[in-house]
Amino acid sequence: MREVLYYAPTELTEATAILADHRDKAAVLAGGTDLLPKLNYYEVKPHALLYIGRLGLSSIHNGSSALTIGATTTTADLATHHLVQQYAPALAQAARLSGSVAIQNAATIGGNIANASPAADLVVALLALDASVRLLSHSGQRDVHLADFFLGPHLTILQPDELITQIHVPLSPGKTEFLKLGRRKGQTLAVVSVAVRLQLDGDLCHDARIVLGSMAPTPLRCRTAEHLLRGQKITTDLIHQAATQAIAESSPITDQRATAWYRKKAGEALVQRALLQALDKKEVRP
Amino acid sequence: MKKKGVGMSCVLHPTGNKGAGDPSQAAIQLKPDGTFALLVGAVDIGQGSNTILRQFAADALGVPIEKILVSNFADDFAPLCLGSFASRVTLIDPHAVVNAVEDLKRRIREWVANEWEANPEDIEFDGETVYLRGDRERRSMTMDQIAAGANFGGGYNPGFLVGTGAWQPAKFHAHDPETGEMPAVGAISFGCCIAEVEVDTETGVVDVTRLVQVWEVGKAVNPLLVRAQINGGLHIGMGYALTESSYPYWPTEDYAPEKLGDYFMPTFLDYPPELIYGIEEVPHPAGVQGAKGFSEGSSNGPPPAIIAAIHDAIGVWIDTYPATPEVILKALEAKKASE
Ligand SMILES: Cc1cc2nc3c(=O)[nH]c(=O)nc-3n(C[C@H](O)[C@H](O)[C@H](O)COP(=O)(O)OP(=O)(O)OC[C@H]3O[C@@H](n4cnc5c(N)ncnc54)[C@H](O)[C@@H]3O)c2cc1C
């Protein structure tokens, strides 16, 4: 077996310097729940591992306009943290429905984003919340809307020398819901998942987000379906139309988990349900 | 929409072979410290055969269970057991253990009689005390003393006190060439399962909301283990009924699982919130104290009960396992098309 260098820096400048030194030959290691299976199956063969768990990036703060979540915050923390439950309940729900207790204790939000699976539960919720990510390299930092981050399955705009350091979730009003269908109730990837956010004024819909997981090469914002709802009076009929439209925007594949046929069929029901259930939810107020 | 349904299944499960032979062996040794080493070939991977075989040995010797050490790790040396399969161990191996204990007692009698210059037939056992009938006051030894004496010699004659035993339900019996008849099974256990499900008609997801399983087991040698086997059968049965598949879209093999992680067994979250079990005991004439096996049968009860409950809920008979959400939705569509 080839030797792999292992770094566990405590300073961000050190971490970005290591990434720059190794160009694309270093792999960032957070919880390892996505990376280690890939290492074990030789799907990736890095020369160096950069462990980022000692950089002090595991925290959740409440700013004036956004929640700031450190990249190595665990899924378990997201599921239970009072700020997440209060201001981003859909994210807390997505975290609760991710993997198992053991996985939740190790898995991180940064890893879920960087891994860029079309099924990533946290990402689906974060997209509905208009989240953005902060990317840091030795030469500077940039903030990118999560909606502009993904290019395809396991493909993102993240450069080899960049690290996700923070996730920003804007504090905005609305009613949200996250639903997930797996092949069983726990320890299962989404066959289809959906996150919605409705900004309402009485029964008038100001703005809407409808995001699907496992229904396209990346987690998918269904913009035409969202548009159908915007400025309209919310009715059951309209919700059905929006759900049909959301599925029309999707392009699921058949894999071991389900056929494309099933994903569309159940996905439509799930979107309808998420929108209807969101209406009954308590409004998030920043 | 969620629809509820209830279904029931009855299971009879053969335990142990009969006409095919099917023996097991056991050995038991009196150790220098007065404990007993029980050697069996039956493999215990958690089902508890080590525990119940210890119970049988302790009962037959009349000593506390703590005095029996059991080992089945040494399969290069262990006595033979045809295997932990066909729910056969509880029916067959206790006989081998009890026979081995009788053999050990015979060896102890002979050794003690030799020391006392007495007739082995006059040696009696009372738990951990061995004495000469009619002269218990003067002629009596504890197991510890016998163990020390025989193993270390000293003032006694050396001896290696080991008993062996073997048993099978019947000798080999060929099929009757005319009728094909043969005595096939050692014993039969009987079970009944009732499942209550909730079917989501839009997603096809089936939730098992309640499940009752009752088994007639001859003699519940260890009720805690019997309960674990009944409820454990649910795990295998639910997987069979609802999730486990190597070829989800047979006959297309393209999406077969590549690793165990792709093969879906239920988790605790999938278990019914209400899980009820029951044990019935009708002593079986072929078993030691009426005991027979049943455990594999407990995974056979849930699948038909769940499928019947699905039928009760949505009026469709699912005729392929597993009844995945996809299978359910397709069946509902077909039903709608035919109406
Ligand atoms: C049994 C099991 C069940 C699972 N169930 C689910 C589930 O239900 N839902 C779900 O969404 N996911 C699930 N996953 C996937 C996984 O747990 C999540 O995607 C998790 O959030 C990944 O985080 P991590 O910290 O473990 O990432 P790692 O494995 O450490 O990293 C994943 C990838 O991201 C990169 N990376 C990590 N952090 C950063 C960073 N800060 N900056 C730049 N790159 C980074 C790594 O280099 C690697 O390429 C499951 C995984 C397993 C093994």
| Each residue's pLDDT tens digit, A109-150 | 999 999 999 999 999 999 999 999 999 999 999 999 999 999
Tell me what pLDDT residue B254 has: 84
CB atoms within 10 A of CB A102: 11
- Rounded to the nearest angstrom, the minimum Cα separation between A267 and chain B is 8
Class of A175-279 per CATH? alpha beta
Please work out whether the CB of residue A71 comes within 6 Å of at least one atom of ligand 1: yes
Looking at the domain that runs over A5-51, which CATH code has it been given?
3.30.43.10
Residue B97 is inside which H or E element, if any? helix B89-116
* Domain spans, chain B: 2-14+186-338, 24-167
- Rounded to the nearest angstrom, the minimum Cα separation between A260 and chain B is 10
Closest Cα partner for A276 from B209, B202, B266? B202
Per-residue pLDDT of B168-181, as tens digits, reads: 999 888 889 999 88
CATH architecture of B24-167: 2-Layer Sandwich (3.30)
Inter-chain contact B326–A259, Cβ cutoff 8 Å?
Answer: yes
Distance A41 CA to ligand 1 centre (A): 16
Residues of chain B with pLDDT under 70: none
Tell me what pLDDT residue A141 has: 97
Please work out whether the CB of residue A115 comes within 6 Å of at least one atom of ligand 1: yes
Distance B41 CA to ligand 1 centre (A): 45
Q: Is residue B59 a contact partner of residue B51, using CB atoms and an 8 Å limit?
A: no
Amino acid symbol at B75: D
DSSP one-letter string for A222-247: -HHHHHHHTTSB--HHHHHHHHHHHH
Inter-chain contact B243–A255, Cβ cutoff 8 Å?
Answer: no
Using CA atoms, how far residue A77 sits from A81, A161, B185, in Å, is 6, 27, 56
Give the SS3 label for residue B337. helix
Please work out whether the CB of residue A114 comes within 6 Å of at least one atom of ligand 1: yes
**pLDDT mean over A2-10:** 93
Per-residue pLDDT of B61-81, as tens digits, reads: 999 999 999 987 777 888 998
The whole-chain average pLDDT of chain A stands at: 96
Nearest CA, atom 23, ligand 1: A111
Distance A162 CA to ligand 1 centre (A): 17
DSSP one-letter string for chain A: ----EEE--SSHHHHHHHHHHHGGGEEEESS-TTHHHHHHTTS---SEEEE-TTSS---EEE-SSEEEEETT-BHHHHHH-HHHHHH-HHHHHHHHTSS-HHHHHH-BHHHHHHHT-TT-HHHHHHHHTT-EEEEEETTEEEEEEGGGTEEETTEES--TT-EEEEEEEE---BEEEEEEE-SSSSS---SEEEEEEEEEETTEEEEEEEEEESSSSS-EE-HHHHHHHTTSB--HHHHHHHHHHHHHH------SS--HHHHHHHHHHHHHHHHHHHHHSPPB--
Closest Cα partner for B293 from B213, B194, B221, B192? B221
pTM score of the predicted model: 0.92
Residue B59 is inside which H or E element, if any? helix B49-61
CA closest to B258 among chain A residues: A256
Q: Categorize the per-residue pLDDT at A1 as very low, low, confident or very high, splitting at 50, 70 and 90.
A: low
* Domain spans, chain A: 5-51, 60-170, 175-279
Closest Cα partner for A124 from A151, A93, A81? A93
CA closest to B206 among chain A residues: A184
Inter-chain CB pairs, A–B, below 8 Å? 50
Residue for token pair 């674990």 = B228
Tell me what pLDDT residue B184 has: 86
The yes or no reply on domain B2-14+186-338 and CATH 3.30.450.40 is: no
Rounded to two decimals, the ipTM of the complex is 0.92
Q: Is residue B201 a contact partner of residue B332, using CB atoms and an 8 Å limit?
A: yes
Tell me what pLDDT residue A51 has: 98
**pLDDT mean over A196-220:** 97
Distance A29 CA to ligand 1 centre (A): 9
Amino acid symbol at A12: L
Nearest CA, atom 5, ligand 1: A99
Per-residue pLDDT of A21-65, as tens digits, reads: 998 999 999 999 999 999 998 899 999 999 999 999 999 999 999
Per-residue pLDDT of B183-224, as tens digits, reads: 889 999 999 999 999 999 999 999 999 999 999 999 999 999
Class of A60-170 per CATH? alpha beta
Q: Categorize the per-residue pLDDT at A286 as very low, low, confident or very high, splitting at 50, 70 and 90.
A: confident
Task: Identify which of A188, A255, A262 has the shortest CB distance to residue B325.
Answer: A262
Inter-chain contact A266–B269, Cβ cutoff 8 Å?
Answer: no
Tell me what pLDDT residue B72 has: 75
CA count, 13 A, side-chain hemisphere, A218: 20
Inter-chain contact B267–A100, Cβ cutoff 8 Å?
Answer: yes
Tell me what pLDDT residue B182 has: 84
